[in-house]
Structure 1
Amino acid sequence: MAFRRVVAGALVCVAASAVGVGFRLTAVGSGPVRALAVREVTATLDAVVTGDPAVSVKAGSARRRTTVLVPVRVEEVDRRRVRVPVLLLAGDEAWRSLVPSQHVRLTARLVVPRRGELLAAIGLVRGPPTVVGGPSLPQRWASVIRSRLRAAVGRLPADQRGVLPGLVDGDTSLLDPELADAFEKAGLTHLMAVSGENLSLLIGAVLMAGRLTGLGRRALPLFAGATVFGFVLVARPSPSVLRATVMGSVALLAVVTGRERRGVPALCAAVLVLVLLDPGLARSYGFALSALATVGILILAPPWRRSLARWLPGSVPGRVLRRVAGMLAEPLAVSAAAHVACAPVLVLLDGEVGLVAVPANLLAAPAVGPATLLGVLAAAVAPMSLSIARWIVVPAGLAVGWIAGVARVCARAPYAAVAWPAGPVGAALLAVVFIVGALTLRRPGARRVAAAAMAGVAVVALIVHVWAPGWPPRGWRFVACDVGQGDALVLAAGPGRAVVVDTGPDPRPIDRCLSDLRIRAVPLLVLTHPHADHVDGVRGVLRGRAVGETVISPDSEGEERRLLTGRRVRPAGIGDVWRVGPLTLGVIGPLTTLRVSTRDPGTLVNDASVVLLARWPGLSALLCGDVETEAQRRLLAAGMPQATILKVPHHGSSHQDPDFLAAAHARIAVTSVGVDNDYGHPAPATMALLARIGLRSYRTDRDGDIAVIGSHDGPTVVTRRPGSG
Structure 2
Amino acid sequence: MTPLVRSDAPGGSVDAVPGSVPATGPAARRTLASPPTRRVDLRLAPAALVSWAAAWALTGPMLGWARTVAVGAALAAVVAGVAVVAARPARWAPSDRWRSQGTRGSEAAPTGADRRRQGGARSAGLHVVVALACLAAVSLGAHAQVARQAPLRSLVGQGAHAELVGRVVSEPRPAVFGDGERWQVAVRQVTARGIVSSTAGLVEVTADRAAPRYGASVAVSGVLRPVDAGDGPLARLTAAGPVAERAPPTALLRATHTMRSALLDVTDPLSAQARGLVPGVAVGDTSRVPDVVDEAMRVTSLTHVTAVSGGHFAIVVAALTALCALARAPRAVRVGVVAVAATAFVLLVRPEPSVLRAAWTCAAALLALALGRPSSGAPALAAAATVLLVVDPWLARSYGFVLSCAATAGLVLLAGPLARRLAPWTGRARAVARAGPWAAPAACGPVLLLLDPHVPLMSVPANLLATPALVPATVLGLVATSAAPWAPGVALPVAWLAGLSTGWIAGVAQTFAAVPGARLPWPAGPLGVAALTLLTVAVLALVLRRPPGEGWRREWREAAPRAVRRVRRRVRRAAVRHGRARTATVAGLAGAALLAALVVAVPRLAGAGHAVPDDWQVAACDVGQGDSLAVRTGPTSAVVVDVGPDGEAAGRCLDRLGVSTVDLLVLSHFHADHVGGLAAVLRGRAVTAALVSPLDAPEGQASAVRSSLGAAGVPVRAAAVGDGGTAGSATWRVLAASGGPRAEGSHAAGSGGGDEGDGVNDASVALELRTAGGLDVVVLGDLEEGAQDSLAADLAATGSAADVDVVKMAHHGSRSQSAALAGHLSPRVTLVSVGADNTYGHPTDDALALYASVGSALVRTDECGTAALVVRGQEIGLACG
State the TM-score, normalizing by the size of structure 2. 0.53
Matched, 1:41 2:160: yes
Contact 1:507/1:536, CA 8 A, preserved across alignment: no
Aligned residue in 2 for 1:382: 484
Residue 338 of structure 1: how far off its partner (Å): 1.3
Contact 1:504/1:536, CA 8 A, preserved across alignment: no
CA distance in 2, matches of 1:338, 1:164: 23
CA distance in 1, matches of 2:822, 2:295: 45
Aligned residue in 1 for 2:447: 345
Larger mean Cα displacement after TM superposition, 293-302 or 77-86: 77-86
CA distance in 2, matches of 1:375, 1:480: 35
Aligned residue in 1 for 2:541: 439
Residue 597 of structure 1: how far off its partner (Å): 4.7
Unaligned runs of at least 5 residues, structure 1: 59-63, 314-325, 453-467, 491-501, 519-529, 541-558, 573-589, 613-622, 640-644, 667-692, 708-714, 719-725
Give per-residue Cα distances to partners, 1:308-327, cap 9 Å, x unaligned: 334313xxxxxxxxxxxx43
CA distance in 2, matches of 1:571, 1:36: 42
Residue 202 of structure 1: how far off its partner (Å): 4.0
Alignment-mate amino acid for residue 843 of structure 2: L
Distance 1:517 1:206, change over 3 A: farther
Aligned residue in 2 for 1:80: 196
Aligned residue in 1 for 2:734: none
Q: How does 1:158-169 map to 2 (within 5 A)?
A: 158-169=272-283
Does the residue aligned with 2:286 lie in a helix, a strand or coil? Answer: coil
Give per-residue Cα distances to partners, 1:645-694, cap 9 Å, x unaligned: 96328xx9xxx99454365999xxxxxxxxxxxxxxxxxxxxxxxxxx99
Aligned residue in 2 for 1:358: 460
CA distance in 2, matches of 1:116, 1:416: 30
Q: How does 1:690-701 map to 2 (within 5 A)?
A: none
Matched, 1:647 2:866: no
Does the residue aligned with 2:631 lie in a helix, a strand or coil? Answer: coil
Does the residue aligned with 1:68 lie in a helix, a strand or coil? Answer: strand
Aligned residue in 1 for 2:54: none
CA distance in 2, matches of 1:20, 1:121: 21
Alignment-mate amino acid for residue 358 of structure 2: A
CA distance in 2, matches of 1:477, 1:665: 30
CA distance in 2, matches of 1:648, 1:562: 20
Residue 393 of structure 1: how far off its partner (Å): 1.3
Alignment-mate amino acid for residue 492 of structure 2: R
Does the residue aligned with 1:506 lie in a helix, a strand or coil? Answer: strand
Matched, 1:661 2:843: yes
Matched, 1:285 2:404: no
Alignment-mate amino acid for residue 538 of structure 2: V
Distance 1:369 1:4, change over 3 A: same
**Identity across the alignment (%):** 29
CA distance in 1, matches of 2:606, 2:359: 46
Q: How does 1:608-647 map to 2 (within 5 A)?
A: 624-625=808-809, 632-634=816-818, 647=832
Q: How does 1:180-259 map to 2 (within 5 A)?
A: 180-204=294-318, 218=331, 224-237=338-351, 241-249=355-363
Does the residue aligned with 1:504 lie in a helix, a strand or coil? Answer: strand
Matched, 1:89 2:205: yes
Residue 102 of structure 1: how far off its partner (Å): 0.9
1:152 to 258, 261, 266: 266
CA distance in 2, matches of 1:517, 1:121: 35
Unaligned runs of at least 5 residues, structure 2: 1-120, 561-601, 622-628, 640-652, 659-720, 732-766, 779-787, 824-829, 849-859, 871-877
Aligned residue in 2 for 1:3: 124
Contact 2:365/2:376, CA 8 A, preserved across alignment: no
2:516 to 402, 414, 425: 414
Alignment-mate amino acid for residue 833 of structure 2: V
2:426 to 297, 312, 317: 312
Q: How does 1:43-192 map to 2 (within 5 A)?
A: 43-58=162-177, 64=178, 68-77=182-191, 78=194, 80-94=196-210, 97-115=211-229, 121-192=235-306
Give per-residue Cα distances to partners, 1:482-502, cap 9 Å, x unaligned: 98xxx5469xxxxxxxxxxx9
CA distance in 2, matches of 1:379, 1:694: 54
Does the residue aligned with 1:378 lie in a helix, a strand or coil? Answer: helix
CA distance in 2, matches of 1:347, 1:302: 25
CA distance in 2, matches of 1:255, 1:165: 32
Residue 265 of structure 1: how far off its partner (Å): 1.9
Contact 1:609/1:626, CA 8 A, preserved across alignment: no
Aligned residue in 2 for 1:506: 633
CA distance in 2, matches of 1:188, 1:571: 33
CA distance in 2, matches of 1:374, 1:168: 8
Give per-residue Cα distances to partners, 1:59-95, cap 9 Å, x unaligned: xxxxx5656242331324256241311413324132x
Structure with more strand by fraction: 1
Give per-residue Cα distances to partners, 1:107-131, cap 9 Å, x unaligned: 2112344436686643332333111
Give per-residue Cα distances to partners, 1:337-367, cap 9 Å, x unaligned: 1111111111121111122222212211221
Does the residue aligned with 1:299 lie in a helix, a strand or coil? Answer: helix
Contact 1:25/1:118, CA 8 A, preserved across alignment: no
Alignment-mate amino acid for residue 154 of structure 1: D
1:263 to 377, 381, 404: 377
Residue 205 of structure 1: how far off its partner (Å): 5.5
Distance 1:68 1:232, change over 3 A: same
Contact 2:168/2:185, CA 8 A, preserved across alignment: yes
Distance 1:56 1:564, change over 3 A: closer
CA distance in 1, matches of 2:846, 2:495: 60
Does the residue aligned with 1:84 lie in a helix, a strand or coil? Answer: coil
Distance 1:6 1:699, change over 3 A: farther
Alignment-mate amino acid for residue 302 of structure 1: G
CA distance in 2, matches of 1:289, 1:359: 20
CA distance in 2, matches of 1:266, 1:284: 20
Residue 46 of structure 1: how far off its partner (Å): 2.3
CA distance in 2, matches of 1:336, 1:411: 18
Alignment-mate amino acid for residue 302 of structure 2: L
Residue 626 of structure 1: how far off its partner (Å): 5.0
Does the residue aligned with 1:128 lie in a helix, a strand or coil? Answer: coil
Distance 1:255 1:304, change over 3 A: farther
Distance 1:101 1:663, change over 3 A: same
Residue 564 of structure 1: how far off its partner (Å): 9.1
Distance 1:260 1:361, change over 3 A: farther
Give per-residue Cα distances to partners, 1:616-635, cap 9 Å, x unaligned: xxxxxxx6345799984346
Aligned residue in 2 for 1:555: none
Distance 1:664 1:694, change over 3 A: farther
Contact 1:46/1:104, CA 8 A, preserved across alignment: yes
Distance 1:333 1:405, change over 3 A: same
Larger mean Cα displacement after TM superposition, 116-125 or 299-308: 116-125
Does the residue aligned with 1:173 lie in a helix, a strand or coil? Answer: coil
Alignment-mate amino acid for residue 633 of structure 1: Q
State the TM-score, normalizing by the size of structure 1. 0.64
CA distance in 1, matches of 2:234, 2:312: 32
Contact 2:473/2:501, CA 8 A, preserved across alignment: yes
Contact 1:610/1:625, CA 8 A, preserved across alignment: no
1:22 to 125, 135, 143: 143
Give per-residue Cα distances to partners, 1:111-170, cap 9 Å, x unaligned: 344436686643332333111211111210110000011111112111112101111110
Alignment-mate amino acid for residue 631 of structure 2: G
CA distance in 2, matches of 1:471, 1:99: 56
Give per-residue Cα distances to partners, 1:185-238, cap 9 Å, x unaligned: 111100101323432344345556777x68678466555445423322321346
Give per-residue Cα distances to partners, 1:574-602, cap 9 Å, x unaligned: xxxxxxxxxxxxxxxx99994545998xx
Alignment-mate amino acid for residue 201 of structure 2: P
CA distance in 1, matches of 2:228, 2:772: 40
Give per-residue Cα distances to partners, 1:531-590, cap 9 Å, x unaligned: 9999977779xxxxxxxxxxxxxxxxxx9899899x9x9999xxxxxxxxxxxxxxxxx9
